[in-house]
């Protein structure tokens, strides 16, 4: 059987979900955050050890200040409830992305949550916040260049394995499956390095409506794939 230990999700379609129901757009984001809690639990119940979700991209700052503030407040609430959820479910939570761009209080919440859950051995949940794949690669390259300058590593020693140590996901295996809800077929600057060999599953279902049956369908899609890595 194809081994599936890491699912990455682009949680798209919150606003269209709300629009379809003639509800304010922000309700879509609220339902999206509620659904993330549900899906995290279901992912673990389906035997998957890692879940990485795209909550806010480096491009999302271009949205209206009202929407940005709303999503940041949702992030605050989500991080707060995650302390309790993590303790109840033995879940380890980490945030990937450029923390420098986040408000100070959110950065403090992240530090507290990551510290409180570091020893938990259940689901590993990674929340991508102020995350961009190119930005992550640039930050990794900056750290590397500095270490090179300081004489810690030699340019000739650089290979894929070493480079991975400088990414936000350094000790997390690459996702075997990437799910995108909301029907668009773009990668949207998500986990650019890590999805090099991921299977991609796109569903028209909007994120707030993505439930257990949809998750099972995505997993079954993956399990039915004949995984090949270019060599055969
Ligand atoms: C994409 O839907 C979703 C986002 C930009 C935000 C994702 C946020 C959540 C799921 C809830 C917040 C969770 C945390 C932890 C902060 P969209 O707004 O692009 O929807 P559309 O494609 O219908 O316009």
Reported as a single tens digit per residue, the pLDDT across 150-178 is 999 999 999 999 999 999 999 999 999 99
Q: Rounded to the nearest whole angstrom, what is the distance from the C-alpha of residue 143 to the centroid of ligand 1?
A: 30
CA-wise closest residue to 74 among 116, 120, 113, 28: 28
pLDDT (0 to 100) of residue 232: 58
Compute the C-alpha angle 47/74/211, nearest 5°: 35
Shortest-distance atom of ligand 1 to CA 17: 23
Closest residue to atom 6 of ligand 1, CA basis: 55
pLDDT tens across the length of the chain (232 residues) = 469 999 999 999 999 999 999 999 999 999 999 999 999 999 999 999 999 999 999 999 999 999 999 999 999 999 999 999 999 999 999 999 999 999 999 999 999 999 999 999 999 999 999 999 999 999 999 999 999 999 999 999 999 999 999 999 999 999 999 999 999 999 999 999 999 999 999 999 999 999 999 999 999 999 998 666 666 5
CA of 137 to the centre of ligand 1 (A): 23
Among residues 2, 3, 12, 105, the one annotated as catalytic is 12
Distance CA 88, CA 69 (A): 29
Q: Give the pTM.
A: 0.96
CATH superfamily assigned to domain 6-132+173-223: Decaprenyl diphosphate synthase-like (3.40.1180.10)
Domain boundaries, the chain: 6-132+173-223
How far is Cα 61 from Cα 189, in angstroms, rounded to an integer? 14
Tokens read off for 183: 């029907």
């Amino acid at each position: 059987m194809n081994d599936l230990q890491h699912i990455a999700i682009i949680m798209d379609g919150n606003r269209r979900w709300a629009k379809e129901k003639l509800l304010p757009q922000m309700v879509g984001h609220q339902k999206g955050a509620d659904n993330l809690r549900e899906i995290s639990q279901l992912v673990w119940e389906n035997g998957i050890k890692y879940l990485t979700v795209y909550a806010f991209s480096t491009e999302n700052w271009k949205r209206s200040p009202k929407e940005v503030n709303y999503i940041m407040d949702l992030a605050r609430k989500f991080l707060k409830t995650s302390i309790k959820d993590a303790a109840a479910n033995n879940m380890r939570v980490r945030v990937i992305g450029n923390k420098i761009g986040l408000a100070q209080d959110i950065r403090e919440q992240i530090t507290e949550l990551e510290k409180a859950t570091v020893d938990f051995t259940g689901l590993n949940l990674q929340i991508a916040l102020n995350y961009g794949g190119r930005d992550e690669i640039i930050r990794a390259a900056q750290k590397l260049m500095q270490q090179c300058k300081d004489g810690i590593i030699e340019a000739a020693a650089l290979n894929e394995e070493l480079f991975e140590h400088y990414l936000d996901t350094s000790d997390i295996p690459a996702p075997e499956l990437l799910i995108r809800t909301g029907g668009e077929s773009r990668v949207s600057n998500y986990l650019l390095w890590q999805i090099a060999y991921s299977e991609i599953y796109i569903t028209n279902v909007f994120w707030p409506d993505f439930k257990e049956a949809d998750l099972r369908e995505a997993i079954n899609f993956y399990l039915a794939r004949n995984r090949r890595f270019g060599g055969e």
